[in-house]
């Protein structure tokens, strides 16, 4: 005695709808993945390639009403821009914030700037540098 098969004979009725759905999902997933990679590449290029000025906070020293901040700024030769520095008190409240401009033909600028504060500060932070 043999058992009856519930499967249709191979090649007789074409592909099942499940196989067509699987193939469609794979194609849609591949297309969306390619678009996502393109968007990530576009924003990555514009973030890294178009940034004409960058900075690094090397050190800082604290006084009662000011913070001296040592900044190292790298920029393109003809460009100008500014870096934003902020300072916080022990409670976490912001006690000082200022923009410091950098211009000129130099590509690397090492400078100590003074950030005035409204109360005694405990930290200094470089928030970012932006080209004009």
Dist CA 125 CA 66 (whole Å): 14
Of all helices (H) and strands (E), which one includes residue 130? strand 123-131
Residues composing the chain:
132
Q: Who wins on pLDDT, 2 or 106? A: 106
| Residue 53 confidence (pLDDT) | 84
| Residue 132 confidence (pLDDT) | 80
pLDDT in tens, 54-78: 889 999 999 889 999 999 998 888 7
Residue with tokens 């090492």: 110
The overall pTM is greater than 0.85: no
pLDDT in tens, 97-113: 999 998 888 889 999 99
Q: Who wins on pLDDT, 3 or 86? A: 86
Dist CA 127 CA 39 (whole Å): 26
């Amino acid at each position: 005695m043999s058992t009856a098969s519930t499967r249709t004979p191979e090649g007789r009725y074409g592909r099942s709808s499940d196989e067509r759905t699987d193939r469609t999902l794979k194609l849609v997933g591949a297309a969306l993945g390619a678009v996502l990679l393109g968007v990530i590449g576009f924003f990555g290029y514009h973030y890294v390639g178009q940034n004409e000025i960058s900075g690094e906070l090397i050190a800082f020293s604290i006084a009662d009403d000011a913070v001296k901040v040592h900044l190292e700024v790298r920029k393109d030769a003809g460009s100008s821009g500014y870096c934003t520095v902020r300072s916080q008190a022990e409670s976490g409240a912001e006690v000082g914030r200022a923009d410091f401009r950098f211009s000129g033909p130099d590509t690397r600028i090492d400078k100590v700037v003074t950030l005035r504060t409204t109360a005694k500060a405990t930290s200094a932070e470089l928030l970012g540098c932006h080209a004009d």
